[in-house]
Amino acid sequence: MEELARAGGVRVDTVRFYQGRGLLTAPRKQGRVAIYDDQHLARLRRIRDLQQQGFKLEQIQVVLAEADPGEGEALLSALLEKTVGERTLSGEELAAETGLPAGMIRAAVEAGLLRPLHVDGQERYSEADVEMARAGLALLDSGFPLQTLLEVAAGHAQQVHEVCDRGIDLFDDHVRKAGPAAGDDRAIARTFETLLPLVTRLVALHFQRTLVTRALGRLEGKEDSAALQAALHATEAAHLEVDVSWR
Can you tell me the mean pLDDT for 203-221? 80
Domain count, the chain: 1
Mean of pLDDT over the chain: 80
Say which range, 86-90, 192-196, 234-238, has the weakest mean pLDDT. Answer: 234-238
The predicted structure's pLDDT at residue 67: 43
Residue 32 lies in a domain: yes
Q: What is the pLDDT of residues 95-110, one digit of tens each?
A: 999 988 888 888 888 8
CATH number, domain containing residue 39: 1.10.1660.10
Q: What is the pLDDT of residue 115?
A: 80
Residue 123 lies in a domain: no
Domain-located, residue 60: yes
Burial label, 99 (beta-carbon count in 10 A; 0-12, 13-18, 19+): exposed
Q: Does residue 190 surpass a pLDDT of 90?
A: no
Kindly tell me if the per-residue pLDDT of 40 is higher than 60. yes
Sequence-distant (≥ 6) Cβ neighbours of residue 118 within 8 angstroms: 51, 54, 56, 124
Is the pLDDT higher at 116 or at 78?
Answer: 116
Is the pLDDT confidence value at 120 over 70?
A: no
SS3 of 32-51: CEEECCHHHHHHHHHHHHHH
Domain of 44 in residue numbering reads as: 1-65
- Residue 26 included in any domain: yes
Residue 229 lies in a domain: no
Which of 195 and 217 is assigned the larger pLDDT? 195
Residue 176, domain member (yes or no): no
Distance from C-alpha of 212 to C-alpha of 235, rounded to nearest angstrom: 8
The reported pLDDT for the residue numbered 48 is 84
- Would you say residue 46 has pLDDT above 80? yes
Residue 28, domain member (yes or no)? yes
pLDDT band at 245 (very low <50, low <70, confident <90, very high): very low
